[in-house]
Amino acid sequence: MPKRYYLTTPIYYVNSVPHIGTTLTTFVSDVTARYQKMHGRDVCFLTGTDENGLKVKEAALAAGKQPQEFVDEISQTFRHIFAGMNIVYDDFIRTTEPRHVKAVQEVFRTLQKKGHIYTGTYEGWYDVSSETFYKESDLVDGKSPDGNEVRWVQEENYFFRLSAFAEPLLKHIESHAEFILPESRRNEVVGFIKQGLRDASISRANDGWGIPVPGDESRVIYVWFDALLNYLSATGWPSPGYEKLWPCDVQFMGKDILTRFHATLWPAILLGLELPLPTTLLGHAWLLIGGEKISKSKGTVVRPLELADELASMSGCKHDIAVDVVRYYMAATMPYENDSTFSYEDFYKRYNSDLANDLGNALNRSLVMAHKFVDGKMPVASAEPAAVEAIRSARSAFERSMTEFRIHQAADAAWGLVRFLNKYIDTRAPWTLAKANDPSLPNVIAAMLLCLRATEGLIRPLLPSTADAIAAQLGVEPLRSWDRIGAPDAMPHNIGLGEPKPIFPRLDLKREIMQTPQPETARPPQAATNGDQITIDDFTKVKLRIGRVLEAEPVPDSDKLLKLQVIIGGERRQIVAGIRANYQPDELVGRQVVVVTNLKPAKLRGVESQGMLLAAVDEKGGAILLQPEKEAPEGATIR
Ligand code: ME8
């Protein structure tokens, strides 16, 4: 019986509806599942909801609802949001389901029989917010280490002999480098276990909510002991056939629940049951807002579907594409080892720079040129080797990143190919090849289209709807098999290309986002007066052409100037512009601009400028760059 690729997320407390942070882990899991499916693996991706705790019961009562009615509603909201984010799981488990209750009670009985469970008196502190027991010495100023209120508990409880598993656990961690990722987290776990593990209290007094201890109705099973077992109960354990899934290939979670629960209590239970341990536990860092943990009470909650709705209405992109943009953001900024901070400004800037400029331009320019220069068909010609090599290297960088589930690096690998393609178009300049009847033109266009096809494959696990849109514009079926990325026949010769349609309309960042443009005094506005009139001959002395920004960086020691590399119909120019107050270098790259090309070169802050950009002047003296109303031919003249 071949083993399926089994991956899991934490099961989420249903005390409140999900936000962008809770969605992040499920998204990372979705990307991994899609990636493995593209490799032909039979994948089972499990997620679900954690419904039995005191925290959930208290939230239900606070909402004036019966716990069951409350958990039914919120569990449904999680499914709704995951579906809206195009997250495709294979199983959704709820800890109030009979299949789970049955398995948990069976685990309890089995561990009891094996002598790993005993009864005793528990006396200590309990943090309802994280459903965690603490010793007096764990508390900080009378609160839990996370700053939550704690309550005193004294009760007859069942204990699990966690202490007995410290040594075997350390051995396993030390001999399996891939067991806990990233490495920095592994060190934290080892340090925690080496401090000594206490036996774990695994029951609470039965107050009518939770899974009863088998044979003792006065007690319910401690919610963490119950919750961790969801990964096992979803396999059907102990019924035959569970080995088809077990053990998990990878389990994703935030760092908050790695050390104490997933990397100690959980594998210790499995060792007690004599079951193999999961291959990898990945504890990622936090997605923060305003530098702090996402908090409902501080109003710093961002809901992923609302974010997508907002983007779709502001930019005019389709809703499924806006969902992909939120997915892209989560991928590109994935808090792997370190926390990352969400901001609207960063989100919208990345939309313009990475999606509208990088990917959108690469797609649009390639298709427009293929229609113009090779009759809108994939040429019967082999792609130039530079492009073939760029695809190979992007694909292998993506694969390397995915061996440790570094989704942010995988996204960067895919964008490496997109950036290559834009530069390749600028340097190979098909428009000049066409003018010169250069025989390499079909090879260049074939290379561009093959790069797009490979990009479609690489981004498919991350941005499935965008990948479909690219395939449709290329006139091909979606690329579903990883092996086909970069295959020479992935773009069949003579295939008719679809119509180029921009999928990421640019956002006007200054109007929508940038609330406080800085004043810029370099060019005061000049009104034309009759005495200043010029003739048409005077005007035509000024040579104006369309350029495209290739690179942009600040000029050192100047808060006004940016140094740009601009390509003007195949000719590269360095231009220094006083636009830094209104523009970030990143948002300029890929953008078309209007350039005065016959201005005498000048030095600004010691840096040569070989042209000038045209800009309108805003109320504060800042520059608003002029741009053609739609993509203009490269290097077009302006009259
Ligand atoms: O802990 N950044 O459930 P939970 C990144 N029921 N990830 C975040 C995040 C953020 N700001 N906020 C939440 C529980 N997460 C238990 C789990 S499993 C057997 C039981 C993610 O609803 C992250 O994966 O508090 C974190 O571990 C999880 O949501 C916590 O979800």
Say which range, 177-191, 207-221, 470-484, 513-527, has the weakest mean pLDDT. Answer: 513-527
Q: What percent of the chain has pLDDT over 70?
A: 95
pLDDT digits (tens, 9 = 90+) for 291-344: 888 876 666 789 999 999 999 999 999 999 999 999 999 999 999 999 999 999
Residue 23 in 3-state DSSP? helix
Over residues 437-456, mean pLDDT: 98
Distance from residue 45's CA to the centre of ligand 1 (Å): 17
Cis, bond preceding 278 (omega within 30 deg of 0): no
Q: In what order do the strands lie in the sheet with 200-201?
A: 132-134, 117-127, 151-160, 200-201
Q: Which residue's CA is the closest to the ligand 1 atom numbered 9?
A: 21
Write the CATH number of the domain with boundaries 304-490.
1.10.730.10
Ligand 1, closest atom to CA 12? 22
Over residues 56-82, mean pLDDT: 91
Say which range, 319-333, 453-467, 486-500, 571-585, has the weakest mean pLDDT. Answer: 571-585
Distance from residue 56's CA to the centre of ligand 1 (Å): 14
Q: Which residue's CA is the closest to the ligand 1 atom numbered 3?
A: 12
| Confidence check: pLDDT of 132 > 90 | no
Closest Cα partner for 548 from 571, 529, 532, 527? 571
Mean pLDDT for all residues in the chain: 91
| Residue 79: per-residue pLDDT | 96
| CATH superfamily, region 522-638 | Nucleic acid-binding proteins (2.40.50.140)
| Residue 296: per-residue pLDDT | 65
pLDDT digits (tens, 9 = 90+) for 612-633: 999 887 767 778 899 888 888 7
The confidence band for 521, taking pLDDT boundaries of 50, 70 and 90, is very low
Say if CB 128 and CB 151 are below 8 A apart.
yes
253 DSSP 8-state letter: E
pLDDT digits (tens, 9 = 90+) for 488-498: 999 999 999 99
Q: In what order do the strands lie in the sheet with 287-289?
A: 292-293, 287-289, 340-342
Give the pairing of strands 250-254 and 602-604.
unpaired
Pocket probe mutation, ligand 1, options 25, 287, 407, max atoms within 8 Å of Cβ: 25
| Residue 511: per-residue pLDDT | 57
The confidence band for 522, taking pLDDT boundaries of 50, 70 and 90, is very low
Pocket probe mutation, ligand 1, options 7, 13, 14, 22, max atoms within 8 Å of Cβ: 22
Q: At what angle do helices 304-315 and 67-84 cross, to 10 degrees?
A: 40
Domain 5-284, classified CATH 3.40.50.620, yes or no: yes
| Token pair in block for residue 359 | 């990917």
Which is higher by pLDDT, 16 or 489? 489
Q: Which residue's CA is the closest to the ligand 1 atom numbered 7?
A: 21
| Confidence check: pLDDT of 255 > 90 | yes
| Confidence check: pLDDT of 215 > 50 | yes
Over residues 185-199, mean pLDDT: 96
Say which range, 65-74, 102-111, 537-546, has the weakest mean pLDDT. Answer: 537-546
Pocket probe mutation, ligand 1, options 253, 281, 342, max atoms within 8 Å of Cβ: 253
Over residues 104-129, mean pLDDT: 94
| Residue 78: per-residue pLDDT | 95
Q: What percent of the chain has pLDDT over 90?
A: 72
Over residues 211-229, mean pLDDT: 96
| Residue 407: per-residue pLDDT | 98
Over residues 469-473, mean pLDDT: 98
Closest Cα partner for 51 from 20, 32, 81, 74? 74
pTM of the model: 0.80
Closest Cα partner for 256 from 277, 229, 284? 284
Say which range, 338-347, 357-366, 424-433, 585-594, has the weakest mean pLDDT. Answer: 585-594
In a 13 Å sphere around the CA of 206, the CA atoms on its Cβ side amount to 14
Q: Which residue's CA is the closest to the ligand 1 atom numbered 27?
A: 254
Say which range, 166-180, 450-464, 515-529, 621-635, has the weakest mean pLDDT. Answer: 515-529
Q: Is the CB of 379 under 6 A from ligand 1?
A: no
Domain boundaries in the chain? 5-284, 304-490, 522-638
Ligand 1, closest atom to CA 25? 24
| Confidence check: pLDDT of 229 > 70 | yes
| Residue 301: per-residue pLDDT | 87
CA angle (110 as vertex; 57, 160 as ends), nearest 5: 60
